[in-house]
Every structure is written in structure tokens, then in C-alpha cells.
Structure 1
């Protein structure tokens, strides 16, 4: 009995020492409170004429409206107060208001993604009502919020490094998953449906090693609806360039002629 007790005590002492050594060797991550989540919503009008790529929930909400009948593209920028959006057309190059002014205003349901909007052209003061809904509908889309942790680093041009993201279920406030094993830009991340399956994925700017955000290298965490977990995508991380999503065509433009078609979850480069 004494031998067993001593062995247990020795094991406890060893495990305590190992835990202490691990704690000493593991850097302490601190909460990062100024990380902007840039969420891209892809919406389609109920009659199928319009497709809206919308960035909302940020200080400068903006969108691109595609008229699939007239083959017209309208860039919009504006303000958001609560769920109320007020966007006005701008020129994509000069940022100046175009000669033909368009306005899109409405109430966005942040949970369902539905947008009940009024679309006004300059010569039509009354405008027309448009009901937008998610372009790709799924019944079990999770409702997440994020908590960010990182390291302060005076040698970093950004002052800190994002090292951990806690995925929190907004419905019960439980941590659904913790993402680690990366070094990312600490000021913002993308929350968008990269593979067009109806579920949002995470895109972080990779600043590991000597990389900078100007190099346009990204870390991809793709949501797997079967496991209800985010999984890293080594295939996507080999591609240089920010993923500009064209939801109306289900294409991704990474710049420099790197255009990919997404079909059934597979990425195929277009020549």
C-alpha cells in the first residue's frame, strides 16, 4: 500500500512538474478586442432578377448589386444603423457618385439573412420593393460569434498577432470549437461562403514567419456541416491572392488571372 501511495505521489509530482513546465513554456494569449469581422452575404431576390453581394455589420457597409436581366452591375456604399441599411451608388473607380444615382435601403435580418429593401433610381422617386434572401439556403446554418486571442509583439508592425479563435454558439454561449496553430493579422478576418455551400467560412491573413499582409497569403478554415467543425484547407492556402467571390457565377477571382469555378465543392481553374 505504501509503495502504491509513493508511486502515486511520484506520478502526481511528475505530472505537476510537467504541467508547470508546459505552463512556463506556453505563451499567455491575451484577448484581442478590436478584430473586425467582415461578413459577406450573398443574397438573391425572390423573383431571381437581382443578386446582391453585401458586406454589412461594419462601419462602412457596401455592396454590389447585379441585375441579371439587364446585365448591369451597381456598386453601393452607405451607412447602417442597427438593422437599417441605406446604400447609394458609387463609381467603382473614382468613388464619386455616378450620374445615374441608385439607392438601396431596407431592414436586414442578421439571423436569417433576409433583406426587405426598396430600390430607387434617380428618375423614380417611389422605387420598387425587392425581397432578398440567402442565395444558397440551408436549414441548419449555425449561429456563431467569435472571441479572439493573441500575443502582443512590439516587433510586429501590427503590434500583436492573432493566435487563437474561439467559435462560440450564440444560442447557448458554449464554445463549439477552438482554432489554433496559426499566426494571423490581428485587425480583421473574412467571414464568407468560400465554397458556395451555404455555410460561412473563415479567412485570415497569414503573417507567420516574415510574411506581411501585402503578400496576400491567407489561412482558410472551411466549415464542414457534417462534423459541425471548421477545417483548414491546404489546397486553398497554396493560392496567392484575396478570394473575391462572384456568387452569381459561383466563381472565385484571386487576381492575376487566377479565376476558379466552384462546382460540387471542387475548385477548378478556368483558362
Structure 2
């Protein structure tokens, strides 16, 4: 949608995009964008304006290990095996039952894993341009801000197919990251006309600021027994909250901050 009049012009647009993934799991991407732009002539010498773009996206990542496992899968092995009584919570087949070293079944990794990303972006730019001396001296100032927020949550649920294809612990991994980049530019332009020639001189300043903040949290959950439904779980004691450099091998609850 666009419009305006003698002194102003504006535009507003939106877009929605959705795409399904190729794996047989929660593997998709959707994004909503909103864009606006405004330019306004305050008077003969002053013009102001700006534009903003907002993006909100949700992405469920594929499980990369499923591709690797599928590549080495055994062609004669079925997905499910009702004879595999030890398997839980679903009776998936395992290549170990056929004499191989591990499970080689990609479906447990897909069905017991969920990796989600929420991505929000806001890019904004504002400017003001003033003719101090018409066609001779012009001053322009502009400010831009690029904001990005990324929240990622990775969940791994426990399962047992065989001794070489199992996940004994549930894991919840959450990462929060924020990027803020700011730019502020000021330019003074002097134009001197001599006969058919123009001499243009520019003087300006530029300010840049880039900031990042991140938080990483990890929780492990151990099983007390491998029952068929996988409902008997306990949370490991919250014994430590340490920095990256102080993390040790026996840390059960870990909060990493940068």
C-alpha cells in the first residue's frame, strides 16, 4: 500500500512465507515481515523520513544425525520391530538384532528430538536533511539500528532401542542471544559552482556501536528406571552454577553466561 500528497509519501507492506522441511519430523520454517516507509517535506529546506522492517520467524531445525544414520541404514531392516520387547517408548527396530554394531535406525533421532528457533529482527533508519544555503550548503544526519533476537531451544527425549542405540538422559538446552548494531552519520556538503564546473566538499562524522549479549542454559534429566513409557524421571541436583572456564566434567546443572 502506497500513498501520499504534495509534501509526504508513505508505503506499507507485509509478507508471509512458510516452508515445510524434508524430514519426517517437526521440520519447518515460517516468517512474517512488516515494512513501512515515510518521507515528509517539512518546508522548502527541511526533509525528514525513515523506514522500518520487522521480521518474526519460527524455525524447527532438522536433526542432522538422522541423515548420517539413514545413509548407513540396513536395507532389509524394518522401521518397527514388534519382537523388540526391550525397546521403549516405541518398538523401533535395531540393526544390532541383525548382527551389526549399532541401531542404524534414523527414526528415533527424529521423533525424540525437537530443535526450535525464534528469530526476531527490527531494522530502522531515520534521517533529516536541511538546506542551510540552498544549492550550496546541505547538512544531513541519519541514524540506523539493527536489532536481532535469537532464542533457541533444543529438546532431546530419552529412548532405548538397543544397547548401541539409546539416549539415557533427557536434555533441554536453551540459548538466548541479542545483537544490537547502531550507526549515526552526520555529513555537511558544500557545493561551489564555477562556470560549468562543480566543486563538492564533504565533511562528516560517523559513529558505530555493536553489542552482543548471550545466555546458555543446559539441564540434564536422568532416568531412574527404563520403563516402557519413559515416565519415571528425576531432575539431577542443582549443585553448580559456573562460568565457561570453571565448568568441570561432573557438573550436572550448568548455566553458561558470556
Query: TM-score, normalised on structure 1?
Result: 0.27
- Relative contact order (C-alpha < 8 Å, sep 6+): which is higher? 2
Query: TM-score, normalised on structure 2?
Result: 0.28
More strand by share: 2
More helix by share: 1
Query: Between Structure 1 and Structure 2, whose CA radius of gyration is higher?
Result: 2
